[in-house]
Amino acid sequence: MTGTQQEQVHLTLKQAYQLSFDCLQFNGCDDANAHAATQCMVTAEGDMCHSHGLFRLPWYASSVKSGRVNGSAKPSVKQLAPAVIQVDGDRGFAPIGHGVGHEALADCARANGIAALAFVNMFHISAMWPEVERLADEGLCAFAFTTSYPYVAPAGGMKPLYGTNPMGFAWPRHDAPPLVFDQASSAMARGEIQIAARDGHLVPETAGIGPDGENTTDPNVVLQGAQLGFGGYKGASLAMMVELLAGPLIGAALSSEALEEDRGNGGPPRGGELIMCLDPGRFGDPDNFLSHGERLFSDILSQPGTRLPGARRFVNRERTAKEGIHIPGSLFEEIQELIG
Ligand code: NDP
């Protein structure tokens, strides 16, 4: 650690890993669970997706300490049908379930051409690019969906019902990291609205409505009212689709049910995630799908002003591996206090 600069603490990724691992272990995670959750947060920090990085650590530590989350979870895999697998997360954090399910899903997709994995009974599915990117690294194409807590109103409605329900997609590439996008179905991420409220900034009128149903640019009013789907009713329909796929389809909670279960304690949501995986080698153009995809990417990039989704993260990943990361000094102190 090289000390603080402008209230930021510099850490190498290795130091960030150790800090998180020690904190989770001290608060009740066994080695395997502390490792999986830490790996996920440090990966997010490395890609500079801070809202899924160490920012989450105090929340994770307190939910293990309170017993809400099982810090010794041992997720189990069950084959429900030839192309359908279920992972029961044993009330642990999602990353340990992801570790257990990955190979089973990849093998099942290669055997059948298509496979689905339903994760149930696990806490806080965070950013979704790690799981889909890993599948595309192995030549597979993948989609992921999850719910959260009710923040988004249905089209025309005034009360929060859907989560900000993200979708992830990954496509394999030749000699390049996979093409990955991962985005909420709300116009703005919840965290961005909270940060705007904290910093006294306005939000776009499309972000949400107040309790009276009127559009507003005041983030505090949106937080009391409801967020809106991106693109109006179209985003709301996608949020609804994600609720169905990651909830009733797989036997997991709706966003509203996850909140009821938490009883307003502010812990991470217990929910489900659906990952669908396709092996392009089993479809119509097994020898050419990669180069055919590359044609699309080069057509996109031939237009000035474009970039591929995921490109920002891959640049950040290379840089932080060499230079390390910065976290707010207040967060660093909070984590140290949690380690006692
Ligand atoms: P963003 O709007 O920041 O980005 C969405 C996607 O668009 C990313 O893949 C991003 O790639 C890509 N992108 C951004 N700008 C461009 C551009 N100019 N050209 C091409 N592609 C671009 O994400 P969100 O705020 O919607 O979500 C952030 C994260 O929060 C996600 O990882 C999501 O899974 C997570 N989330 C999790 C929830 C949960 O309950 N678990 C709920 C809601 C969100 P790049 O990364 O390279 O910038």
Helix (H, G, I), strand (E, B) or coil at 152: strand
Which pair of structure tokens corresponds to residue 299?
A: 């057509």
Helix (H, G, I), strand (E, B) or coil at 143: strand
**Active site members:** 51-52, 192
Helix (H) or strand (E) holding 55: none
In a domain, 122, yes or no: yes
Q: Return per-residue pLDDT of the chain as tens, 340 residues.
A: 444 445 999 999 999 999 999 999 999 999 999 999 999 999 999 999 988 999 999 999 999 999 999 999 999 999 999 999 999 999 999 999 999 999 999 999 999 999 999 999 999 888 999 999 999 999 999 999 999 999 999 999 999 999 999 999 999 998 899 999 999 999 998 878 987 898 899 999 999 999 999 999 999 999 999 999 999 999 999 999 999 999 999 999 999 999 998 887 778 899 899 999 999 999 988 889 999 999 999 999 999 999 999 999 999 999 999 999 999 999 999 999 999 8
In a domain, 308, yes or no: no
CA 311 to ligand 1: nearest atom: 47
In a domain, 306, yes or no: no
Q: What is the per-residue pLDDT for 190?
A: 87
In a domain, 219, yes or no: yes
Residue 208's CATH number: 3.30.1370.60
What range defines the domain where residue 328 resides? Answer: 8-285+321-339
Number of domains within the chain: 1
pTM: 0.94
Q: 144 alpha carbon to ligand 1 midpoint, in Å?
A: 13
Q: What is the per-residue pLDDT for 3?
A: 44
In a domain, 334, yes or no: yes
User: Given ligand 1 and candidates 40, 145, 182, 193, which is best to mutate, with the most ligand atoms within 8 Å of its CB?
Assistant: 182
In a domain, 315, yes or no: no
Backbone angles phi, psi at 58, to 5 degrees: -60, -40
For ligand 1, whether the C-beta of 273 sits within 6 Å is no
In a domain, 147, yes or no: yes
Q: What is the per-residue pLDDT for 262?
A: 86
Q: What is the per-residue pLDDT for 50?
A: 87
For ligand 1, whether the C-beta of 43 sits within 6 Å is no
Report the alpha-carbon distance of residue 158 to residue 48 in Å, rounded. Answer: 34
User: Given ligand 1 and candidates 151, 183, 301, which is best to mutate, with the most ligand atoms within 8 Å of its CB?
Assistant: 183
Residue with the smallest CA separation from ligand 1 atom 41 is 126
Task: Specify whether the CB–CB gap between 58 and 24 falls below 8 A.
Answer: no
Q: What is the per-residue pLDDT for 6?
A: 53
Report the alpha-carbon distance of residue 4 to residue 332 in Å, rounded. Answer: 10
Q: 53 alpha carbon to ligand 1 midpoint, in Å?
A: 14
Q: 183 alpha carbon to ligand 1 midpoint, in Å?
A: 4
In a domain, 236, yes or no: yes
Residue with the smallest CA separation from ligand 1 atom 4 is 183
Residue with the smallest CA separation from ligand 1 atom 42 is 164
CA 309 to ligand 1: nearest atom: 21
User: Which are the contacts of 258, defined by CB distance < 8 A and separation ≥ 6?
Assistant: 147, 148, 149, 163, 269, 270, 271
